[in-house]
Amino acid sequence: MVVPWVGFPLGDLLKRFRPTSKAKYVAFTTLHDPKQMPGQRSGWLAWPYVEGLRIDEAMHPLTLAVVGLYGRVLPNQNGAPLRLVVPWKYGFKGIKSIVAIRFTEKQPPTSWNLAAPDEYGFYANVNPAVDHPRWSQASERRIGASLFKATQPTLPFNGYAAEVASLYRGMDLRRWF
């Protein structure tokens, strides 16, 4: 699905804080307010939701800090006031309602990797060659398509391989999923 996000490259924001060479990762934390977000009362994930990227991924021009969509201010259900969009990764990397961003030397924990490390890796790049333990990721159905419509092959890096594959050169993408 193509979503007309309103935002800016995250790297433009991060550069203003002049990260040192010690900064290898960027860690994100979401708003934790169970009164406003009742789903946070569930016990299936630890709250607040946390996510992370390597610094080169965060600085990539396709990584967006988003404040709106469809020409309007970002609604609460879509992650207001600020959310992350990393189009070559699976959607759970797009942390919503960001309240803290920090640089770190060590790989930060991520909510889904903490909850199910055998199922959700830190990188979460769209990789049709690596199945989730409970389903295949080799094909997909477009959002909004009929359930009876044929699926189509999933593209590596969600179709952004030409732009981002170099970030992972030399990595075993089956191991570092």
Say if residue 172 is exposed, middle or buried (CB neighbours under 10 Å; 0-12, 13-18, 19+): exposed
Q: Is the pLDDT of residue 163 over 70?
A: yes
Q: Which residue has the tokens 């009164």?
A: 35
- pLDDT band of 1, cuts 50, 70, 90: low
Q: Write out pLDDT tens, residues 21-73.
A: 999 999 999 999 999 999 999 888 999 999 999 999 999 999 999 999 999 99
Mean pLDDT of 137-150: 86
Cβ density class 42-61: b for 16+ within 10 Å, e for less: eeeeebbbbbbbbbebbbbe
Q: Is the pLDDT of residue 2 over 80?
A: no
Q: Write out pLDDT tens, residues 74-129.
A: 999 999 999 999 999 999 999 999 999 999 999 999 999 999 999 999 999 999 99
pTM score: 0.93
pLDDT at 43: 82
pLDDT at 8: 98
Architecture (CATH level 2) of domain 5-168 = Alpha-Beta Complex (3.90)
